[in-house]
Amino acid sequence: MTESNPFLALFSNEAANAGPAHPSIGLTQDKERGADNGDSSSFDKLAENVFMLTLKPNRKKDCPLYYMQDLAGALKLECFDQTALDQAVLEYAVGLQDSLVNYLFQCFERYHSIGNKSRVSGVHKTIFVNLDLALSQPELFPKQNLHEDFIQLLAFPIEETTSKFLEDFIKHILEQENSSSVAEVFEPVLLCLKTKLASMHLLVGNQNGLDAMLVMSKNPALAKAIVLSSILDESSVKVGRQCEDTLLGSLFLCSCIPRVPGTTSDFFDRPSRSPPSVHVTTEGNIWAASERIMDKTYKIFYNLFKSSPEVQDLTRKWLGQVLALNKARGQMWAQHDTTALVDCASDGFMTNLGAVLLQLCRPFCSQDDPKAYDRLSKIDASFCAAKVTDGNGVHIADLHKETCLITQENRPMARTLPYSFSTELFFLTHRALELGAKAVHSQMLQMSQNFSRLQRAYQDAEQSGQTPVVQQIQERMDVMMSSYLCFKAVLLVPEWLKLHFEFILATSKWLCASALGTHPSNVTSSELSSNKEQTSELLSCIPEFCLSNVMDFVVFANRFSPTTLDRSKLDDLLTLVLVFMGSPNRLKNPHMRAAMAEMLDGLMPPDRGQASPPSSRTKLFVEHPRSKDVVRTLLHVFASIEMTGQGVAFEQKFNYRRPMYAAMKFLWSLKFHRRQFKLLAAEAEANMEAAQPPLFLQFVNLLINDAIYLLDEGLSYMAQLKEQQIQRSDGSWPNVAAGPQRHQREATYQHITMLARFHNLMGRETIRILDMMTTEVKGVFVHSAMVDRVASMLNYFLLHLVGPKKRDFKVKDFGDYEFDPAELVSCICQIYCHLSDADEFCTAVSQDGRSYSSQLFELAEDVLSRIGRGALIGDLRLVAEKVAKLATAQASDEDLISAAPDEFLDPIMSSVMMNPVILPSSRVTVDRSTIARHLLSDQSDPFNRSPLTMEEILPDDELRKKIHQWISEVKKKAVLRDDRPT
pLDDT digits (tens, 9 = 90+) for 665-677: 999 999 999 999 9
- Asked whether the predicted pLDDT for residue 21 surpasses 60, the reply is no
Mean per-residue pLDDT for 877-886?
A: 90
* pLDDT at site 333: 54
Residue 212 · residue 151 · CB < 8 Å: yes
Pure H helices in 308-364: 309-325, 332-335, 347-360
* pLDDT at site 898: 67
Domain 903-928+943-979 falls in which CATH fold? Herpes Virus-1 (3.30.40)
Q: Using CA atoms, how far apart are residues 156 and 146, in angstroms rounded to an integer?
A: 16
Residues 6+ apart with CB under 8 A from 387: 394, 400
Q: Using CA atoms, how far apart are residues 883 and 412, in angstroms rounded to an integer?
A: 65
pLDDT-based confidence at residue 35 (cuts at 50, 70, 90): very low
Residues 6+ apart with CB under 8 A from 198: 244, 250, 253
pLDDT-based confidence at residue 271 (cuts at 50, 70, 90): confident
Mean per-residue pLDDT for 426-453?
A: 92
Q: Please, how many CA atoms are within 13 Å of residue 269, restricted to the half-sphere of its CB?
A: 1
Q: Using CA atoms, how far apart are residues 727 and 825, in angstroms rounded to an integer?
A: 28
* pLDDT at site 60: 56
Residue 475 · residue 264 · CB < 8 Å: no
* pLDDT at site 968: 83
pLDDT-based confidence at residue 15 (cuts at 50, 70, 90): very low
CB atoms within 10 A of CB 647: 6
Q: Using CA atoms, how far apart are residues 262 and 259, in angstroms rounded to an integer?
A: 9
Pure H helices in 517-629: 526-529, 544-560, 562-565, 571-580, 590-603, 616-623
Helix %, strand %, coil % for the chain, to 5? 65, 0, 30
Q: Is the peptide bond before 418 cis (omega within 30 degrees of 0)?
A: yes
* Beta-bridge partners for 955: 917
Instruction: Give the rounded percent of residues in the chain with a pLDDT score beyond 90.
Output: 49
Residue 324 · residue 428 · CB < 8 Å: no
- Asked whether the predicted pLDDT for residue 157 surpasses 80, the reply is no
Q: For residue 927, give the H/E element and its range.
A: strand 925-927
Mind giving me the DSSP string for 186-208?
HHHHHHHHHHHHHT--SSSS--H
pLDDT-based confidence at residue 61 (cuts at 50, 70, 90): low
Instruction: Name the residue among 503, 499, 583, 513 with its Cα closest to residue 542.
Output: 513
Q: Which residue has the higher pLDDT, 934 or 487?
A: 487
Burial environment of residue 491 by CB neighbours within 10 A (0 to 12, 13 to 18, 19 or more): buried
Instruction: Give the rounded percent of residues in the chain with a pLDDT score beyond 70.
Output: 88
Residues 6+ apart with CB under 8 A from 769: 661, 664, 665, 703
Question: Reduced to 3 states, what is the DSSP secondary structure of residue 719?
Answer: helix
Look at 72-81, 126-135, 189-198, 211-220 and tell me which has the smallest mean pLDDT: 72-81
Q: For residue 916, give the H/E element and its range.
A: strand 916-918
Look at 364-373, 425-434, 607-616, 900-909 and tell me which has the smallest mean pLDDT: 607-616
Question: Reduced to 3 states, what is the DSSP secondary structure of residue 354?
Answer: helix
Instruction: Name the residue among 143, 180, 171 with its Cα closest to residue 24.
Output: 180
Residue 402 · residue 389 · CB < 8 Å: no
Q: Using CA atoms, how far apart are residues 104 and 172, in angstroms rounded to an integer?
A: 14
> From residue 350, how far is each of 160, 251, 261, 283, 548 by CA, in Å?
34, 11, 13, 19, 17
Pure H helices in 926-956: 928-937
pTM, 2 dp: 0.86
- Asked whether the predicted pLDDT for residue 141 surpasses 50, the reply is yes
387-401 burial, b at 16+ Cβ within 10 Å, e below that, comes to: ebeeeebbbbbebbe
- Digit-coded pLDDT (tens) for 617-659: 999 999 999 999 999 999 999 988 775 444 456 677 778 889 9
Q: For residue 917, give the H/E element and its range.
A: strand 916-918
The separation between the first and the last C-alpha atoms of the chain, rounded to the nearest angstrom, is: 147
- Asked whether the predicted pLDDT for residue 23 surpasses 50, the reply is no
Strands 53-54 and 916-918: unpaired
pLDDT-based confidence at residue 34 (cuts at 50, 70, 90): very low
* Beta-bridge partners for 917: 926, 955
Measure CA 961 to chain center.
Answer: 63
pLDDT-based confidence at residue 338 (cuts at 50, 70, 90): low
Q: For residue 54, give the H/E element and its range.
A: strand 53-54
Mean per-residue pLDDT for 959-970?
A: 85
Measure CA 588 to chain center.
Answer: 20
Q: Using CA atoms, how far apart are residues 98 and 95, in angstroms rounded to an integer?
A: 9
Find which of 313-322, 525-534, 863-872 is predicted with most confidence, using mean pLDDT.
Answer: 313-322
898-929 burial, b at 16+ Cβ within 10 Å, e below that, comes to: eebeeebbbeeeebbbebbbebeeeeebbbbb
Instruction: Name the residue among 282, 278, 510, 518 with its Cα closest to residue 405.
Output: 510
* pLDDT at site 950: 81
Instruction: Name the residue among 473, 474, 491, 443 with its Cα closest to residue 339.
Output: 443
Rounded to the nearest 5 degrees, what angle is found at the Cα of 287, between the Cα atoms of 283 and 292? 150
Instruction: Name the residue among 775, 793, 584 with its Cα closest to residue 703.
Output: 793
CB atoms within 10 A of CB 405: 27
* pLDDT at site 14: 35
- Asked whether the predicted pLDDT for residue 11 surpasses 80, the reply is no
Measure CA 431 to chain center.
Answer: 11
Q: Using CA atoms, how far apart are residues 682 and 684, in angstroms rounded to an integer?
A: 5
Mean of all residue pLDDT scores within the chain: 85
Rounded to the nearest 5 degrees, what angle is found at the Cα of 396, between the Cα atoms of 395 and 399? 135
- Asked whether the predicted pLDDT for residue 556 surpasses 80, the reply is yes
Residue 899 · residue 946 · CB < 8 Å: no
Domain with CATH 3.30.40.10 in the chain: 903-928+943-979
pLDDT-based confidence at residue 441 (cuts at 50, 70, 90): very high
CB atoms within 10 A of CB 662: 18
* Beta-bridge partners for 922: none
Mean per-residue pLDDT for 484-497?
A: 95
Q: Considering Cα of 748, then 750, then 752, then 755, what sign does the dihedral take?
A: negative
- Asked whether the predicted pLDDT for residue 421 surpasses 60, the reply is yes
Burial environment of residue 3 by CB neighbours within 10 A (0 to 12, 13 to 18, 19 or more): exposed
Instruction: Name the residue among 552, 631, 640, 633 with its Cα closest to residue 589.
Output: 640
> From residue 274, how far is each of 124, 281, 481, 483 by CA, in Å?
60, 11, 12, 15
Mean per-residue pLDDT for 912-930?
A: 88
Q: Using CA atoms, how far apart are residues 376 and 381, in angstroms rounded to an integer?
A: 11
